[in-house]
Amino acid sequence: MEDNKRIEILRNTLNANKDKYIKRLGELVAIDTHDIGHGIDGGLEKKGQEYMAELFKALGASEVICDQMEEKVILESLEKYNEGNEGHNYDGRFNVYATFKGESEKSILFNGHIDTMPVGDPALWNTNPHDPVIKDGRMYGLGVCDMKAGLMASTLAVELLKDAGIPLPGKVVITSVVDEEGGGNGSIQAAMRGIKADAAVVCEPTDQSIIAAHMGFIFFKIEVEGRAVHSGAKWLGVSAIEKAQKLIEAIDELEHQWLMNYKHALLPAPTSNVGVISGGSAGSTVADYCEFKTCVHYLPGKMSHEQVVKEYTDAIYRRCEGDEWLKDHKPKISIYQAGGAFEMDLDHEFTKTFAGTCEKIKNEAVIVGSPAGCDARVWRNMANMPTLQYGPGRQSECHIANEYVELQQYLDAILIYAQLILDWCK
């Protein structure tokens, strides 16, 4: 059957079943699956994962695996890949992996996370965050954009092919993972378990663009010691806040060097952001302690985790040598979260295939980069798979009150994923 005829069948089937597909998304959004304390204190993903496991079985998955999260796996990943966030509570938290067999062993994997951020201030929501509401072509609800629409769209791509009477040409693997909002531990464990395919799609929201690169990130905490005295005798003390300011100037200078030296065709220049600063106990006391937390975003290919850590710590300690107090009271530097950078070859067969699929369905294929990290890095760098990011919704709608997804984008994603399965696995 030629492509145009098959696409017409898929479109007609999608339109005939769109109410069912939208209903499934609403059912998933209605289940509260938020992380607690960025996953450190746990998460409520269990009921959502049970829903996905039952849906996979109902759609005819040949295998459905529930994989309990384990701290030892994350520690192994940290040791081997500098990927993982230790010390999270995994009570009742498990990944779900579904496999749908096709006519060949050619395979594709779709990745989505079931966990969401917490509601935040309920007063900012116009509707109940866990009661999906459809208005003006949008579905509102917590996690609908980030990223239950992408996860459900990839799942229903299999159902769309089934509803259309088109057999799967190859194997489809869908990973519904937990603890993504805590730094990606769910996908990290999946990759460490050996879950993989011939190519992967991370279904995070991309506003209908294909993301082929994202920046790496490292969160630093710098703790500075001072000497407390009454502020009336300030000269007898040492202000940790003032010393911290000197160190911030040092990393600002390093950021400027990076801005001048590193460029990328799809991504902005590397950045260092001081996001939190705290110290001191009273206005009348010279501060004996100050800490500040930063986040560095760096470029794939041109920079590495090890390089950034070395240059960052070197810049701070070099500034210490020029200060009478800091040279003998050096700050403590620690890393409390990190994730690698991601980049996919634009000339790779999978990139060309995906772009071709989008052109068939939408008459265009836009390939961009993203400053925000996601699980694409895990599947590309750890599982060593050709990987791209594509999903319904906009990044600007993530982690905010009144989160929504355009339902047309959601339905388009189902169609595109279904056609991609046909194009890649044929």
Q: Is the pLDDT of residue 87 over 90?
A: yes
**d(C-alpha 218, C-alpha 128), whole Å:** 35
Give the closest residue to 162 by CA, choosing from 12, 10, 2, 358: 10
Say yes or no: 177 and 248 in one domain.
Answer: no
Q: Are residues 167 and 229 in the same domain?
A: no
> What CATH number has the domain bearing residue 268?
3.30.70.360
279 has pLDDT over 90: yes
Question: Confidence class of residue 2 from pLDDT cuts 50, 70 and 90?
Answer: confident
Tell whether omega for the bond before 147 is within 30 degrees of 0, i.e. cis: yes
What is the rounded distance in angstroms from the CA atom of residue 156 to the CA atom of residue 154?
6
Is residue 104 predicted with pLDDT exceeding 70?
A: yes
Tell me the mean pLDDT in the region 39-46.
97
Pick the closest to residue 230 from 242, 239, 222 (CA basis). Answer: 239
Domain range for 378: 3-214+341-425
Name the domain count of the chain. 2
Q: At 206, which CATH number? A: 3.40.630.10
**H or E segment and range at residue 79:** helix 71-81
pLDDT band, very low/low/confident/very high, at 396 (cuts 50, 70, 90): confident
Question: Does residue 307 register a pLDDT over 90?
Answer: yes
Distance separating alpha carbons of residues 324 and 388, to the nearest angstrom = 50
- Tokens 């145009």 locate to 4
Per-residue pLDDT, averaged over 61-77, amounts to 98
Pair (405, 357) in one structural domain: yes
The whole-angstrom separation of Cα 285 and Cα 373 is 41
- For 47-61, give one letter per residue: b (16+ CB within 10 A) or e: ebbebbbebbeebeb
Q: Are residues 265 and 319 in the same domain?
A: yes
User: What is the DSSP code (8-state) at residue 268?
Assistant: P
pLDDT digits (tens, 9 = 90+) for 399-410: 899 999 999 999
Backbone angles phi, psi at 354, to 5 degrees: -65, -45
Across 315-338, average pLDDT: 96
Residue 335 and residue 225 in one domain: yes
- pLDDT value, residue 158: 98
Chain position carrying tokens 């001081």: 274
Residue predicted with more confidence, 82 or 420:
420
Per-residue b/e over 398-421, b at no fewer than 16 CB within 10 Å? beebebbbbbebbbbbbbbbbbbb
356-363, long-range: CB < 8 A, 24+ apart:
356/423, 357/416, 357/419, 357/420, 357/423, 358/210, 358/416, 360/3, 360/7, 360/419, 360/423, 361/7, 361/412, 361/415, 361/416, 361/419, 362/208, 362/412, 362/416
Tokens of 406: 């355009």
pLDDT in tens, 175-214: 999 999 988 999 999 999 999 999 999 999 999 999 999 9
Count the Cβ atoms, other than its own, within 10 Å of residue 105: 11
235 lies in the same domain as 276? yes
Model pLDDT, residue 316: 98
Backbone angles phi, psi at 415, to 5 degrees: -65, -45
Written as one letter, the residue type at 387 is T
Among candidate residues 195, 208, 203, 215, the one with its CA nearest the CA of residue 114: 203
- The 10s digit of each residue's pLDDT in 356-377 is 999 999 999 999 999 888 999 9
pLDDT given at position 40: 94
In this structure, the answer to whether residues 122 and 49 fall within a common structural domain is yes
132, 141 Cβ separation under 8 angstroms: yes
Backbone phi, psi, residue 171, to 5°: -85, 135
Token pair, residue 384, equals 């060593």
The model's pTM is: 0.92
Q: How far is CA 8 from CA 12, 14, 364, in A?
A: 6, 10, 18
Residue 1 has pLDDT above 80, yes or no: no
Query: Are 144 and 163 part of one and the same domain?
Result: yes
Q: What percent of the chain has a predicted confidence (pLDDT) above 70?
A: 100
Mean pLDDT of all residues in the chain? 96
Residues 210 and 229 in one domain: no
Q: Can you tell me the distance from the alpha carbon of 353 to that of 295, in angstroms, rounded to the nearest whole number?
A: 35
Question: Which of 281, 306, 339 is the endpoint of a domain?
Answer: 339
Helical ranges in 209-281 per DSSP H: 240-261
Regarding whether 124 and 71 lie in a shared domain, the answer is yes
**Residue type for 221, please?**
K
Taking residues 266-287, report their average pLDDT: 96
Tell me what pLDDT residue 21 has.
98
pLDDT confidence tier of residue 395, bands split at 50, 70 and 90: confident
| The pLDDT value given to residue 372 | 86
First to last CA, the chain: 12
pLDDT in tens, 120-156: 999 999 999 999 999 999 999 999 999 999 999 999 9
The pLDDT of residue 276 is 96
d(CA 316, CA 282): 27
Give the C-alpha separation, 273 to 322, whole Å.
Answer: 23
Could you say which of 280, 305, 339 is where a domain stops? 339
Do 141 and 264 lie in a common domain?
no
Please name the residue that has the structure tokens 């609800």: 141
Looking at 308, 323, 339, which one is the last position of a domain?
339
Say whether both 296 and 234 belong to one domain: yes
Residue range 289-299: mean pLDDT, rounded? 97
